[in-house]
Amino acid sequence: MTKVAVTSRSFSRHEVLCGELQERYPDTRFNDEGLSLSGSGLIEFLQGCNKAIIGLEVFDHQTFAALPELKVIGKYGVGLDMIDLDAMRAGGVKLGWAGGVNRRSVSELVISFAIGLLRHVPAAQAEVRAGTWQQLIGRELTGKTFGIIGCGHVGKDVVKLLKPFGCKLLANDIKSFPDFYAAHNVRAVDIATLLEQSDVVSIHTPLDSSTRNILSAERLQLMRKDAVLINAARGGLVDEVALKSMLQEGRLGAAGFDVFHIEPPEDPELLELPNFLATPHIGGSSEEAILAMGRAAIVGLDDFGDPLEVAQS
């Protein structure tokens, strides 16, 4: 009998997903204790299992080498940066994964960030709570120039949600999407032009060696002083130290981050800035997205392929 293990804590707490998985695989081991599994603890939990559903756990060469019986991983969530895909292929482990299943959940959060920061909602709330009652004059999203770095699943969905706002849309991506850009009046530009011209910049790239610190201190300097920066993609894409200095000194209007280089974030000065909005990595955590990601992971236990090829699909 095929043995399945679920390392993800949130999947293991979800009654509907657990029930649907057990219908297919009755002999399933869940992370019922809510353990943060890593290293030897992760290996021990997966011993003897042929298939696994994983979340944010790190799978490196050592992990795959220690689990020769593991043949298939169903990925719960869209990020693959925690998996050494080369080591996975070398170990003969297949990957079941579907990109973009949480796109609407993330893109709606991005729009809420953009509106909230343009209208100074975090600062206004802080003032009201402190007993101050004064109107803060903000700006509308309508008609603004909106720059999207990374126009994949989420980036494209942000474009669609922005249609009623009549924004001028700029995009930067290593891939070309001429048909999509033409259909939605998106102008493809280099990253410097995007940063220089955008009122709002939202980043939607994966985290890898080519994108780490893609918004360096030097690139952040290109942004307009009243611009808004949003990161609901991955921590590590933005130089957070430089970002804090720019927000403190008025060299950047505002920023909203759902993800951080270290989570939970360890810089209270950044978190307490009135022009900074932080959420605890909730972009893909709507009820609808959780079900979609969980069901995609379940399907991935039976519909899988070479990890490097699947990751490029």
Among residues 139, 212, 281, 295, which one is catalytic?
Answer: 281
141 and 76 belong to one structural domain: no
Whether residue 281 lies in the annotated active site: yes
Show the tokens assigned to 50.
């042929």
Per-residue pLDDT for 79 more than 90? no
Percent of the chain with pLDDT over 70: 100
124 and 222 belong to one structural domain: yes
Tens digits of residue pLDDT in 241-254:
999 999 999 999 99
161 and 249 belong to one structural domain: yes
Q: What is the mean pLDDT of residues 74-102?
A: 93
Tens digits of residue pLDDT in 184-240:
999 999 999 999 999 999 999 988 889 999 999 999 999 999 999 999 999 999 999
Among residues 14, 120, 153, 234, which one is catalytic?
Answer: 234
The count of domains in the chain is 2
Q: Is the peptide bond before 264 cis (omega within 30 degrees of 0)?
A: yes
140 and 22 belong to one structural domain: no
Handedness of CA 218, 222, 226, 232 (dihedral sign): negative
119 and 249 belong to one structural domain: yes
Residue 254, pLDDT score: 98
Residue listed under structure tokens 């990957």:
95
Among residues 69, 263, 266, 269, which one is catalytic?
Answer: 263
Tens digits of residue pLDDT in 90-146:
999 999 999 889 999 999 999 999 999 999 999 999 999 999 999 999 999 999 999
Query: 3-class SS at 63?
Result: helix
Per-residue pLDDT for 285 more than 90? no
Per-residue pLDDT for 300 more than 90? yes
Residue 1, pLDDT score: 64
DSSP-derived pairing of the beta strands 168-172 and 145-149: parallel
Task: Count CB neighbours of 222 within 10 A.
Answer: 17
Whether residue 129 lies in the annotated active site: no
Query: How far is it, in rounded angstroms, from Cα 49 to Cα 224?
Result: 52
Query: How far is it, in rounded angstroms, from Cα 91 to Cα 239?
Result: 35
73 and 90 belong to one structural domain: yes
In the chain, which residue ranges form alpha helices assigned H by DSSP? 9-13, 15-24, 39-46, 61-65, 85-90, 103-118, 121-129, 153-161, 178-183, 191-197, 217-220, 240-248, 268-271, 287-300, 307-311
228 and 175 belong to one structural domain: yes
DSSP-derived pairing of the beta strands 28-30 and 51-54: unpaired
The range of the structural domain enclosing residue 263 comes to 103-278
151 and 213 belong to one structural domain: yes
DSSP 245-264: HHHHTTSS-EEEES--SSSS
Per-residue pLDDT for 2 more than 80? no
Whether residue 234 lies in the annotated active site: yes
CATH number for 69: 3.40.50.720
73 and 125 belong to one structural domain: no
Better pLDDT: 75 or 99: 75
Query: How far is it, in rounded angstroms, from Cα 141 to Cα 132?
Result: 26
Return the H-helix or E-strand segment holding 74.
strand 72-75
182 and 245 belong to one structural domain: yes
Tens digits of residue pLDDT in 25-70:
998 999 999 889 999 999 999 999 999 999 989 999 999 999 999 9
